[in-house]
Amino acid sequence: MKTERIGIYGGTFSPPHIGHVRAAEVFLSEMSLDKLLVIPTFEPPHKDFHNEASTAERLEMCRLAFSDIPNCEISDLEILRGGKSYTYLTLEALMGEGRELYMLVGTDMMLTLDEWKNPERIFAAASICYVRRETDPESKRRLDEKIRLYESRFGARIYAISNKVIEISSSELRAAIANGKKLGDYLSGSVKEYIADRGLYR
């Protein structure tokens, strides 16, 4: 039986922007994934999240933003579960015979994964794929040190994704929308239209 390679891409996605979309495309391609699940969080455990858009609105914006990516599905798994969106619970819910899970994270997450709830269960459930944006030697040293720690302590399986992503901050986008600034091409046309129609982030 062929093993199905499933990618997991979580986040608040408030709003989902072209940086998210580009990261998803690179992740799918470089890891030869059969399917990518984009999973908006209900309540992120690791940061303050002021719910400027409802869970239903964030789900719909994700459907619009990622609609042109083949083999990409939007999952409401964490939203339906409610409460804090702990990663280990999501991964374990998606595990199954004939499946390999790959989770995409940024550098900031890579440096703190061992501080997340039940990190040993995260590393047991999925391979970790990260996008490294920093180029300075000190950041590289810290990252390499953490990777060695994860591999020795948890038996982690870790892969680097080449840096072809676009660096954009969702919080800066929300501030720009609130201040009535033009967003250029940071959001897809359908997402911009949805935000305007719903009056989000004003």
The model's pLDDT over 58-96, given as tens digits with 9 standing for 90+, comes to: 999 999 999 999 999 999 999 999 988 999 999 999 999
Give the pLDDT mean for 181-198: 89
Instruction: Report which secondary-structure segment, H or E, holds 106.
Output: strand 99-106
Residue 73, pLDDT score:
97
pLDDT tier, 162 (very low <50, low <70, confident <90, very high otherwise): confident
pLDDT, the chain, mean:
90
8 A C-beta contact, residue 156 and residue 150:
yes
Alpha carbon separation from 165 to 70, 74, 102, 129, 170 (Å, rounded): 18, 20, 18, 14, 14
pLDDT over 90 percentage in the chain: 70
Q: Could you give the dihedral angle defined by the CA atoms of residues 137, 165, 59 and 183, in that order, rounded to the nearest 10 degrees?
A: 110
pLDDT over 70 percentage in the chain: 93
The model's pLDDT over 43-59, given as tens digits with 9 standing for 90+, comes to: 877 665 565 799 999 99
Give the pLDDT mean for 113-119: 96
